[in-house]
Amino acid sequence: MNIRLFSYFVTLVIKSRMEYRGAFTIGVVGQVVGYAANYLVIWLLLQNFNTIQGWDWTEIAFLYSLNLLTYAIGASFTYTPMVGLDQIIVNGNFDMYLTKPLSPFLYFLANLFNIGYIAHILISSVVLIWSISQADITWTLYKAIYLLLAIISGSLLQAAGLIVIGSLSFIFLRVQYLFSIFFKLKEFIAYPISVYGTLLQIILTWIIPLAMINYYPSLYIFEDSLLTNKILGITALVIGPLSLYLAYRFWMYGANKYQGAGG
């Protein structure tokens, strides 16, 4: 399946969802309000402590928004298909994705694209732009390009995490608890990982590199003087594409081993 055909399938999914505009609008408003409450909690916390490990409200808002925006972009393509994959396999419905003259991976993602994440994108983009305008950042063309690449890489890394867990459905069938663990881990990057112990920082940087989504890119944009953080900021741009490629290969490995609902 090429990009043009993939886009066509996504467009069809969006049109089908927009047939129920009232329900869609209510869902978007509800999610915006929910995430606005999360921002409010962080803001109230900063009113009492002023800074967290030297990060003020605008910097924390940038950090949180970068996490939420990249998650929304990556999850719009991967959350619904990967979370539902175990049930699709059990019901025997996965076979339909293997009997078409299309890439089963891209067809699977396109067919279950979730436009509902537009709410996440809206609120995170607004707060991200606001935090950029308020934070003490010296912007250059190079830094603007870096931010764009960081958003792309972070989105790919978020998607890769969901794909890897979803792929385990081919082996263990039931993996919903792993998604719960994944989202619990993601809560740690809502704040600078420097507030945690060394062991957890190592895990979030090198083992499950969630800090590459927002923490190290933020340090790079805020011009942290530590050379290690600058190197990790550049590394963050590579981790996303590499993780997605490995996740894709793992998914295809599982799909090739798939032998049917009773396999």
pLDDT in tens, 38-78: 888 888 888 878 788 889 999 999 999 999 999 999 999 99
Cβ count near 206 (within 10 Å): 11
The residue segments making up the domain with residue 93 are 3-257
128 falls within a domain? yes
Residue 263 lies in a domain: no
Maximum C-alpha span of the chain:
59
Q: Mean pLDDT across the chain, nearest whole number?
A: 90
Q: Which has the minimum average pLDDT: 35-39, 92-96, 155-159?
A: 35-39
Query: In the structure, what pLDDT confidence band is assigned to residue 115 with cuts at 50, 70 and 90?
Result: confident
Q: How far apart are the two ends of the chain, measured CA to CA in Å?
A: 26
Q: What is the pLDDT of residues 125-163, one digit of tens each?
A: 999 999 999 988 889 999 999 999 999 999 999 999 999
Residue 158 lies in a domain: yes
Q: Is 177 contained in some domain? A: yes
Could you write out the three-class secondary structure of the chain?
A: CCHHHHHHHHHHHHHHHHHHHHHHHHHHHHHHHHHHHHHHHHHHHHHHHCCECCECHHHHHHHHHHHHHHHHHHHHHHHHHHHHHHHHHHHCCCHHHHCCCCCHHHHHHHHCCCHHHHHHHHHHHHHHHHHHHHCCCCCCHHHHHHHHHHHHHHHHHHHHHHHHHHHCHHHHCCCHHHHHHHHHHHHHHHCCHHHCCHHHHHHHHHHCCCHHHHHHHHHHHCCCCCHHHHHHHHHHHHHHHHHHHHHHHHHHHHHHHCCCCCC
The answer to whether position 103 is within a domain reads: yes
pLDDT number for residue 101? 78
Report how far residue 72's alpha carbon sits from residue 84's, in angstroms, rounded to the nearest whole number. 17
**pTM for the whole thing?**
0.91
Mean pLDDT over 162-185 rounds to: 94
Task: Indicate whether 241 pLDDT > 90.
Answer: yes
Q: Model confidence over 183-222: pLDDT tens digits? A: 999 999 999 999 999 999 999 999 999 999 999 999 999 9
Q: Residue 188 in contact with residue 204, Cβ under 8 Å? A: yes
Q: Which of 23-32, 154-163, 225-234 has the highest mean pLDDT?
A: 154-163
- Band (pLDDT 50/70/90 cuts) for residue 82 is very high
**CB of 81 within 8 A of CB of 100?**
no
The answer on pLDDT for 10 being more than 80 is no
Q: What is the structure's pLDDT at 224? A: 87
Please check the confidence at residue 180 and state whether its pLDDT lies above 60.
Answer: yes
The total number of structural domains in the chain stands at: 1
Task: Tell whether 131 is covered by a domain.
Answer: yes
Specify if 262 maps to a domain. no
Residue scoring higher pLDDT (12 or 173): 173
The pair of three-digit structure tokens given for residue 144, joined into one six-digit string: 């603007």
| Whether residue 23 has pLDDT greater than 70 | no
